Amino acid sequence: MMSKDPDEASIDPPPLRTVAAVDLGSNSFHMIVAHSDGGPLEVIDRMRERVQIAAGIDAEGDLSEEAQERAFACLERFGQRLRDFSSDRVRAVGTNTFRSARNGKNFRRLAEQALSHPIEIISGAEEARLVYLGVRRQRAPSTERQLVIDVGGGSTELIVAEGEEIRLAESVPLGCVSYSRRFFPDGKLTEAAFRAAVLAARIELRPIEEQFRTLDCTSALGSSGTAHAIQALVRATGEPHELITKVGLERVRDLLIKAGTVDAIDNDALREDRRPVIAGGVAVLLAVCKSLKFTELTATPGGVREGILHDLIGRLHHDDVREVTLERFLDRYGIDRKQAMRVERTAQSLFDAIAPSWNLADNSRLHLSWAARLHEIGLAISHQGHHKHAEYLIRNSDMAGFSTDEQELVATLVRHHRRRVSRKRLGALHHVSEEEALRLCSLLRIAVVQNRTRRDAQEPPWTLHARDATLEMRFPEGYFAHHPLTRTELFEELELAKQWGVKIKAVEGGPKK
């Protein structure tokens, strides 16, 4: 009997993990719970509720009390299922309505209390990436160029991809809920209303349609509940195949016009909760079909919530797309990698020394590291005010894998790594208290000062000690006399930290007895 290689025998299989994705869409809220052992996901629980928060947006852009109450009640039920999950095993994502509601901040805060887990708000570009990730992982591998269309409640995501590479992705404010409210508000389904809805959607698509047409996709996929509902209606009109064709879409439109009203739609193929929003979905999909000039579409499994799950699993298995994004930024903007790594190592050392005393979370270390790596990105524009340029680039770029909160936090830390500091802006960050933001800002600023010479050192010139809630930096005797610039800049930062209530001090010589 052959003996096993010792190295091979020592490798354990990946641990079984149970994770959950919560997709807070403009039409429905979804939750998926799944097992992952490194292979395909095994879904063990699903919950879906039609909340239609997009229907609760008033003329001023505020989310109504009634819509909020529907959302909170649903999230409390989801929260009961997720009560025993640690925060790193749950990813809850808010999309278009969370982005656009004028009172979205307060609504989100209360929604997080109901769910008992943080809620990330993602950009349209990030939503599109997650849609494609979910679709790709649910289908057989393919290298052909595909167009993926996800018609949601408040926005439509359009993605062109080949294999794992996304060639183009856009999010446009066309949704089955928003368009049903706008063009079919009283439930009447008329030819004139459909004509107006399709025209309005085509006008919205006009700035991007040429980009998508020129990429010449070989197939089109529909990934949303809207696509599946329309596919069922197309089959009910007598189409002999599973495709959603342009002709089939027009037949469905005519079927709805013949019904005359939402209440009069008499078709077993359409779920009851889809009826109020199907007209808007049909109009949007017809407009996309005409604008992008494709003749048939296949409804496909997978979408944003499956993408959220796979993205979360990737993070747990150290395959984090955010790291890929950072690497691309380093290359794209010609950042001095050696200096970025010096500042990052120093910032991490400072963080590790004091994190237990300051009760800093592990993800704060990650945020500090990202800011350290990107703090000189603005030099690609100009040295003058480069911290401001850096903030703009980080805040306004499409950063795959990053939530809007993460971009905001990193951009704000980088903006304040030098020059004047706005405590008001640091205190306005979501999921990070003003106290923690000031502490992270202090650590980043000190790390930058300590690496002003841009030279590698075998060992740092200081040792770090946590004394109660004070971070003590202890330098060799006489160090500051030989490094007057470092002394001046460091003590300026320590004085600023003191004003913020952040306890950091620098001393020379051995520890006091």
Q: What are phi and psi of 192, to 5 degrees?
A: -65, -40
Q: What is the mean pLDDT of the chain?
A: 91
**Residue type for position 141:** P
Tokens 């698509």 — which residue?
Answer: 205
Beta strands in 142-285 (DSSP E): 145-151, 156-162, 165-172, 219-222, 243-245
Contact by Cβ (8 Å): 94, 26? no
Task: Give pLDDT tens digits for 114-137.
Answer: 999 999 999 999 999 999 999 998
Question: Do the domains spanning 17-121 and 325-459 agree at the CATH topology level?
Answer: no
422-444 burial by CB neighbour count: b if 16+ within 10 A, else e?
Answer: eeeebeebbbbebebbbbbbbbb
Rounded Cα distance between 343 and 337, Å, is 10
The torsion angle over the Cα atoms of residues 53, 54, 56 and 57, rounded to 10 degrees, is: 140
Closest CA to 394 of 379, 415, 419: 415
Contact by Cβ (8 Å): 63, 40? no
pLDDT of residue 2: 39
Domain ranges of the chain: 17-121, 125-302, 325-459
Task: Give pLDDT tens digits for 36-81.
Answer: 876 678 899 999 999 989 889 888 899 999 999 999 999 999 999 9
Q: What is the pTM of this model?
A: 0.89
Instruction: Give Cβ neighbours of residue 264 (< 8 Å, ≥ 6 apart).
Output: none
Q: Among 54-58, 440-444, 462-466, 482-486, which is the least confidently predicted range?
A: 54-58
Q: Span 325-459: which CATH code?
A: 1.10.3210.10
pLDDT of residue 129: 95
| Alpha-carbon distances of 510 from 473, 476, 480, 491, 513, rounded to whole Å | 11, 8, 15, 19, 9
Rounded Cα distance between 114 and 79, Å, is 7
Task: Give pLDDT tens digits for 236-295.
Answer: 888 777 899 999 999 999 999 999 999 999 888 888 889 999 999 999 999 999 999 988
Contact by Cβ (8 Å): 53, 67? yes
Rounded Cα distance between 161 and 447, Å, is 40
Q: Span 125-302: which CATH code?
A: 3.30.420.150
| Average pLDDT for 208-230 | 93
Rounded Cα distance between 35 and 30, Å, is 17
Structure tokens at 392: 């703009």
pLDDT of residue 501: 95
Question: Any idea which architecture 17-121 has in CATH?
Answer: 2-Layer Sandwich (3.30)
pLDDT of residue 21: 96
Q: What are phi and psi of 248, to 5 degrees?
A: -65, -40
Contact by Cβ (8 Å): 368, 349? no
Task: Give pLDDT tens digits for 149-169.
Answer: 999 999 999 999 998 899 999
